[in-house]
Homo-oligomer: A and B are copies of this chain.
């Protein structure tokens, strides 16, 4: 296996967007800066979805403009349409992300458009952004199962992925939005998608809702995937209950990858400290297993037993 893995941190966006209580912009900025200090080089900082829908991220411009940006770090943000792109441009951002679902009913419920109706909207965003030098990443949701439709055919995932790549998206993150995927399916799907599009244009986005998150990362690694999305503390991903898990935790993925001899360039101890900082902001325990196992030790300045 190639040893180099890229982690794409989505906590500040995918994690925080579900939080009801509004968090100070300065705390969001500190969280992002801590994550970047740990060695993370790709991070989704916020979202330009209409603040009416996600009031928590209404401060998107302030967050991006408040960060002391570091060379070599890609700060990205979710952009749903041209209006969002206009706001994003006020921050000098170099990368954005567009999103849609592989299943019709999830796309409809999430974006309020059919899949066919979504393409021109995203194409407009992608082409406008590309023309002004902004790179565009893409997300395909419900790629391993849909809360409304159940199974989602691989052909639907391939179709949406292909459309996104044709718009100029440089990398498509294939998402198990509701955490129903299992490793056999993940390995199979990614093997097929890699044959179609090449592994350097694909990323894996897994949720740990049913405990299979890291098993699915491992299966995707075996298929050849080398870029993974994760969220500090395991925050986010619409958990349905306190203590439940959504996004796979950056800490947990790092622990596994490093144990497998993979290189990420990220210091696990510092991500654990960022996770502990986030727990203080939110005043609750986060789902990351490694965070729970390591945080006391790390906060005392020792490195945990690895």
Which residues of A come within 8 Å of B, CB atoms? 145, 147, 150, 178-185, 208-215, 217-219, 240-245, 248-249, 252, 255-256, 259-261, 285, 288-290, 292-293, 305-306
The reply to whether B305 and A145 contact each other, CB–CB distance below 8 Å, is: yes
| Chain B residues whose C-beta falls within 8 Å of the C-beta of A210 in the assembled complex | 252, 255-256, 289-290, 293
Known: A182-B256, A210-B290. 18 other contacts (CB 8 A): A147-B305, A179-B293, A180-B259, A180-B305, A209-B289, A209-B293, A210-B252, A211-B214, A211-B256, A211-B289, A214-B214, A218-B218, A240-B293, A242-B285, A243-B243, A244-B292, A244-B293, A245-B292
The reply to whether B183 and A256 contact each other, CB–CB distance below 8 Å, is: yes
A and B contact pairs by CB, cutoff 8 A, 13 listed: A178-B305, A179-B293, A180-B305, A181-B259, A182-B260, A183-B218, A183-B260, A208-B211, A211-B214, A212-B255, A218-B219, A242-B285, A245-B289
| Chain B residues whose C-beta falls within 8 Å of the C-beta of A180 in the assembled complex | 259, 305-306
| Chain B residues whose C-beta falls within 8 Å of the C-beta of A285 in the assembled complex | 242-243
**A181 and chain B: residue at smallest CB distance:** B259
Shortest distance from the beta carbon of A78 to any chain B beta carbon, whole Å: 25
- Bound complex: CA of A290 vs CA of B215, how far in Å? 14
The reply to whether A292 and B243 contact each other, CB–CB distance below 8 Å, is: yes
